[in-house]
């Protein structure tokens, strides 16, 4: 049965979504039933049929449903800056809070020729993303971005601000903590902030210390995370990972469920066009450029060898993919 289906789909690629959709909904479909359903498509022509089918699906708002069946995407897709991935029992959402570019002039290196080859225009696409992690009815955030679009995106997902009970911070820079406060009030009224104790000390003396005073006043003292990869955080499937270098208490978070793993590296990496090929090149934002480069090299090597999915706040949306080894490293976005 599967051979007949795939032969039909290969003959007319436009039927691929229809074929896979039928198999997803009705895995027990036999050849006669399949040909009865697909017959009108062959008779009238695949283009005519699919155009008509898409009009019906759109009118009934079923396109996202079929996309979720066939490709494993969330019903929200990527059109509104939301991307969904399932990691075992964990629902992982990427929320694009802002998009921008990253300039070569920010990179710390004397090898200007390498920069020209890796980012010929002098600018590389970039994002500011927030990650929502959900298991059952419980949800927490990793970082809060600037707070530009995050609240509307959570609303799209049916998540109310008061339902977010915990916020895990990779570090304390403004594009990660800016969404904690909205209109002078707690953006997430029932949430507790979690971070590394070393990062709190850095926050108190860094450029974002004004935001810290406001956050402490509104949220109270944060809880501290131990990056030992043994102590779970919020859910049993989550552990904190020590990725210091960008800041003194910078953390990553490793999600493991059903033999699948994903690491959120925060700002361990900024410019994907440059730093996958040349992890030795750091950025001016790094507090300790040398250590940041060492941690970047080590973590990307581990992600490639252990087949972890890799998510970074500033990679172009959807900001998640696989790391491959290739004269340095290569990033393959989940979109491709």
Q: Whole-model pTM? A: 0.77
Residue positions counted in the chain: 336
Return the closest-CA partner of residue 241 out of 230, 222, 227.
227
pLDDT attached to residue 78: 57
Q: How far is CA 198 from CA 92, 231, 236, in A?
A: 27, 17, 24
* pLDDT per residue rounded down to tens, the chain (336 residues): 333 333 333 333 334 434 434 333 444 444 444 444 444 444 445 444 444 444 444 344 343 344 333 333 333 445 689 999 999 999 999 999 999 999 999 999 999 999 999 999 999 999 999 999 999 999 999 999 999 999 999 999 999 999 999 999 999 999 999 999 999 999 999 999 999 999 999 999 877 777 898 999 999 999 999 999 989 999 999 999 999 999 999 999 999 999 999 999 999 999 999 999 999 999 999 999 999 999 999 999 999 999 999 999 999 999 999 999 988 899 999 974
Distance separating the N- and C-terminal Cα atoms of the chain: 28
What gap in Å lies between CA 281 and CA 292, rounded to an integer? 9
Query: Which part of the chain has CATH 3.60.15.10?
Result: 82-333
pLDDT attached to residue 208: 73
Return the closest-CA partner of residue 70 out of 125, 144, 9, 126.
9
pLDDT attached to residue 79: 64
Structure tokens belonging to residue 297: 């090299």
pLDDT attached to residue 210: 78
pLDDT attached to residue 292: 98
Structure tokens belonging to residue 290: 């040398």
What gap in Å lies between CA 152 and CA 154, rounded to an integer? 5
pLDDT attached to residue 306: 97
Q: In what order do the strands lie in the sheet with 90-103?
A: 82-87, 90-103, 123-135, 138-142, 164-168, 192-195, 223-224
- Taking domain 82-333, whether its CATH number is 3.40.50.150 is answered by no
Return the closest-CA partner of residue 68 out of 80, 85, 90.
85
């Amino acid at each position: 049965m599967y051979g007949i289906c795939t032969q039909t789909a290969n003959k007319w690629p436009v039927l691929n979504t229809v074929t896979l959709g039928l198999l997803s909904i009705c895995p027990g479909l036999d050849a006669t039933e399949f040909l009865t359903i697909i017959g009108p498509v062959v008779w009238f022509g695949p283009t005519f049929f699919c155009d008509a089918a898409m009009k019906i699906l759109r009118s009934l708002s079923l396109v996202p449903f079929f996309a979720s069946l066939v490709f494993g995407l969330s019903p929200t897709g990527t059109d509104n800056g939301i991307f969904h991935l399932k990691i075992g029992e964990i629902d992982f959402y990427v929320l694009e809070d802002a998009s921008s570019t990253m300039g070569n002039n920010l990179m710390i290196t004397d090898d200007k020729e390498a920069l020209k080859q890796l980012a010929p225009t002098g600018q590389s696409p970039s994002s500011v993303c927030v990650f929502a992690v959900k298991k059952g009815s419980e949800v927490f955030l990793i970082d809060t971005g600037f707070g530009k679009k995050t609240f509307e995106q959570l609303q799209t997902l049916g998540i109310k601000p008061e339902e977010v009970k915990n916020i895990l911070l990779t570090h304390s820079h403004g594009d990660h903590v800016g969404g904690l406060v909205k209109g002078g009030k707690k953006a997430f009224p029932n949430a507790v902030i979690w971070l590394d104790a070393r990062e709190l000390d850095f926050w108190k003396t860094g450029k974002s210390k004004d935001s810290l005073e406001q956050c402490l006043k509104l949220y109270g003292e944060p809880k501290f995370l131990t990056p030992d990869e043994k102590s779970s955080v919020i859910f049993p499937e989550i552990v904190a990972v020590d990725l210091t270098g960008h800041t003194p208490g910078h953390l990553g978070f490793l999600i493991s469920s059903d033999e699948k793993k994903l690491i959120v590296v925060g700002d361990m990496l900024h410019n994907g066009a440059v730093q996958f090929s040349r992890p030795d090149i750091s950025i001016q934002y790094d507090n300790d450029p040398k250590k940041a480069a060492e941690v970047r090299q080590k973590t990307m090597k581990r992600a490639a060898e252990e087949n972890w999915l890799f998510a970074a706040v500033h990679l172009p949306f959807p900001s998640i993919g696989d790391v491959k080894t290739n004269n340095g490293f290569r990033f393959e976005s989940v979109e491709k």
